Amino acid sequence: MNKLSAKHSLLSLDSTIIQKCIHCGMCLPSCPTYQETKIERNSPRGRIALMRAIAEKRMDLTASFAHELYFCLGCLACQTACPVGVDYKTLFEASRQDIEKSKILNNPLRLLARTFLINYLFLSSRRLRTFGRLLRIYQRMGLDRFFKSLPFLPAKLKDMLAQIPSIAPHFSFELIPPRELPINTPTRWKVGLLTGCIQDLVFSKINRDTADVLLYNGCEVICPPEQGCCGSLHAHNGEMETAERLAKKLLAAFPIEELDAIITNSAGCGSHLKHFSDLFPPGTFWRKKAEAWDKKVYDIHEWLIKIGFSPPQAFASTNQSHTVITYHDACHLCHGQKIKNEPRTILQSLPYVQFIELEESDHCCGSAGIYNILQPEMAHKLLNKKVEKIKKTKASIVCTANPGCLLFIEKGLKKHHLNIQTIHPISLLAKGYKLKDTWSSPFLQ
């Protein structure tokens, strides 16, 4: 039985999934919200107890339950901590699906925002890019600074405006051709490259760096210009039917059977992309296509370690300074995909770099998709903790592999007036391949 079949409702889940929790409490130290509030209902086992009551029809789905599930970050740290392997991700997404179908949280403003963002804007790469171009003009004209400076604007609105990221000068399709071959090395693999949605608008340079790293390591890169959102945002927010539609678009965009791998460089997307088959009923055309897809999706760090990537070479220099770097584990990379060592191996391969381990590196920074917008108070508590841990490392660079984490941590560092850069690990590796003998003054120029 497909664990997310029958429209992904708590009432239709296999009972073994929802009854697996033994309420041992091993998840409590790992849960950010429980650690802040010490309230049982704010913990994974507390939430699962509520889910089970609803699934067994001992409790109705209430607004209180709905608010609790949106207070959860969905960071999946509890899955890593769980000794019996509770599938919290499936329970979490099924619960949010039921919440959205019940319309129990609907109000005019929420309905308008979700309809525009989730069910309109993110359904089309062309709409997203058009919106991105308008935002780019708005930012270049300085209107963002103007509105944030208005004294009569509410503090919450100013904070939301401050979280609008700077749009990149070019989108991914303008930087990466549909097909690119290695130049100075034999072609050993043929891979597809996913460019994402927010990644495309804000971090297209990371996508270009990813393509460069793949090419350097003997990969032919296939990058369809019209890809669009993978649907992780929708699945995470209870819109499973929309997630299915977006998955079908991606499945149709890539020549899956021709590829050795399909590469993602965004932790949150990757956690969803590896389980497309869960979206479709067994035996269907799309289920079979998605199963073939799932087997080929790799996070970029995971793929580089698998193929034996080439470390950048150190060159002699009269001014060999060492840059101190640290690394924050994006939740859906370390907890969702169980990828922890691979990014560290890559970072530690860089010449003239001193890697310092970050205390509580796998604790959520508070970004969690759109959580930092919906739950700003809790998000900023977690962000402040993360910034304090980063500050202790005395690093000049903090690396992380998720666009939301990059943006939110950068915001926190600026708020605390810390001169620390946020960079994707793959961008540092790409810089290593390109700079070679200028590594003596790396990254900070």
The answer to whether residues 206 and 64 belong to one domain is no
Question: Helix 88-102 vs helix 63-71: angle between axes, to the nearest 10 degrees?
Answer: 140
* 141 and 266 part of one domain: yes
**353 in the same domain as 297:** no
Contact (CB, 8 A) for 94 and 8: yes
- The reply to whether 151 falls in a domain is yes
Indicate the range of 89-98, 141-150, 219-228, 424-433 predicted with least confidence: 141-150
Residues 6+ apart with CB under 8 A from 109: none
Contact (Cβ atoms closer than 8 angstroms) between residue 296 and residue 334: no
Chain segment 95-116, per-residue pLDDT in tens: 999 999 999 999 988 888 888 8
Round to whole Å and give the CA distance between 139 and 161: 11
Has residue 315 been placed in a domain?
A: no
User: Is residue 362 a contact partner of residue 396, using CB atoms and an 8 Å limit?
Assistant: no
Sign, Cα dihedral of 226, 228, 249, 109? negative
Query: Whole-prediction pTM value?
Result: 0.91
How many angstroms separate the Cα of 194 from the Cα of each of 208, 234, 312, 333, 403? Answer: 11, 17, 24, 16, 14
Question: Is residue 88 located within the same domain as residue 120?
Answer: no
pLDDT digits (tens, 9 = 90+) for 205-250: 999 999 999 999 999 999 999 898 999 999 988 888 999 999 999 9
- Beta-carbon contacts of residue 180 (< 8 Å; ≥ 6 apart): 211, 215, 220, 221, 223
Which of 58, 83, 102 marks a domain boundary?
Answer: 102
Determine the Cα angle at 367 with ends 365 and 372, to 5°. Answer: 125
Average pLDDT over residues 123-140: 92
Residues 271, 420 share a domain: no
Whole-angstrom distance, CA of residue 136 vs CA of residue 299: 29
- Cα 144 to chain centroid distance, Å, stands at 25
What is the pLDDT at residue 113? 82
Other CB atoms within a 10 A radius of the CB of residue 83 amount to: 9
Which residue, among 228, 226, 333, 200, has the nearest Cα to 272 in the 3D structure?
Answer: 333
**What's the CATH number where 413 sits?**
3.40.50.10700
Q: Are residues 346 and 428 in the same domain?
A: yes
- Residue 314 falls inside a structural domain: no
- C-alpha 203: how far from its chain's center? 13
The last residue of one of the domains, among 253, 286, 309, is: 309
Positive or negative: CA dihedral 421, 424, 427, 432: positive
DSSP code of residue 176: S
- Whichever domain contains 62, its CATH number is 1.10.1060.10
244 and 330 within one domain: no
How sure is the predictor about 440, in pLDDT bands with cuts at 50, 70 and 90?
very low
**Is the pLDDT at 365 greater than 90, yes or no?**
yes
Given 79, 102, 125, which residue is the final one in a domain? 102
Is residue 445 predicted with pLDDT exceeding 70?
Answer: no
With a cut of 90, say whether residue 317 has pLDDT above it: no
Same domain, 78 and 111: no
The pLDDT of residue 252 is above 60 = yes
Residues 384 and 242 in one domain: no
Angle among Cα 33, 35, 39 to the nearest 5 degrees reads 70
Domain that holds residue 150: 107-309
Q: What is the pLDDT of residue 320?
A: 55
The answer to whether position 269 is within a domain reads yes
Q: How many domains does the chain have?
A: 3
Question: How long, in residues, is the chain?
Answer: 445
Looking at residue 149, its pLDDT comes to 78
256-303 pLDDT, tens digit per residue, is 999 999 999 999 999 999 999 999 999 999 999 999 999 999 999 999
State whether 376 and 287 are in the same domain: no
Residue 444 falls inside a structural domain: no
- What is the C-alpha to C-alpha distance for residues 213 and 180, in angstroms, rounded to an integer? 12
How many whole angstroms separate alpha carbon 429 and alpha carbon 445? 16
Q: Does pLDDT of 407 surpass 60?
A: yes
Residues 205 and 284 in one domain: yes
- Residue-level pLDDT at 161: 77
- Residue 425 inside a domain? The answer is yes
Same domain, 266 and 144: yes
Q: What is the pLDDT of residue 313?
A: 82
**318 falls within a domain:** no
Q: What single letter denotes the amino acid at residue 327?
A: Y
Residue percentage of the chain with pLDDT more than 70:
94
Within 8 A by CB and 6+ apart from 68, the residues are: 41, 42, 47, 50
